[in-house]
Amino acid sequence: DVKVTQSSRYLVKRTGEKVFLECVQDMDHENMFWYRQDPGLGLRLIYFSYDVKMKEKGDIPEGYSVSREKKERFSLILESASTNQTSMYLCASRDRGEILGYTFGSGTRLTVV
């Protein structure tokens, strides 16, 4: 069964910390995505990557950066965590030619205190 694995299920970090959220997929997919999920707002795209070392901003990139050094791994970085970044973060991947949509990870619930 194909998998997208997010390294942490729950995280608690302090304001101002640098935070790394890790995502690994085992499907050899070219495209990977980071979303945040907030009540009443649905899912909003932060960044995506269509190849190793390639990235594009989504709708809400401010305060975030990403890294994709290997095809299977896509990291989301909060440069200086703030309380308004408390959220559920979802990673997803998709094969370039696939129109069936994304495969999602189980999510990381981040709380910034």
Partner 1 sequence: GDSVTQMEGPVTLSEEAFLTINCTYTATGYPSLFWYVQYPGEGLQLLLKATKADDKGSNKGFEATYRKETTSFHLEKGSVQVSDSAVYFCALTKYNFNKFYFGSGTKLNVKP
The answer to whether 110 and 86 have CB atoms below 8 angstroms apart is: yes
Beta strands in 71-107 (DSSP E): 73-78, 87-94, 103-104
Taking CB under 8 A as the criterion, which residues in 20-59 touch partner 1?
31, 35, 40-45, 48, 50, 56, 58
Quick one: which of 29, 36, 68, 94 contacts partner 1 (CB under 8 A)? 94
Nearest to 65 by CA among 43, 48, 52, 84: 48
Burial of 76 (0-12, 13-18, 19+ CB in 10 A): buried
* 102 is a site residue for partner 1 (CB under 8 A): yes
* 11 is a site residue for partner 1 (CB under 8 A): no
Task: Kindly tell me which of 43 and 77 has the beta carbon lying closer to partner 1.
Answer: 43
Residues 59-88, mask of contacts with partner 1 (x by CB under 8 A): ------------------------------
Binding site for partner 1 (CB under 8 A): 4, 31, 35, 40-45, 48, 50, 56, 58, 90, 92, 94, 98-102, 104-107
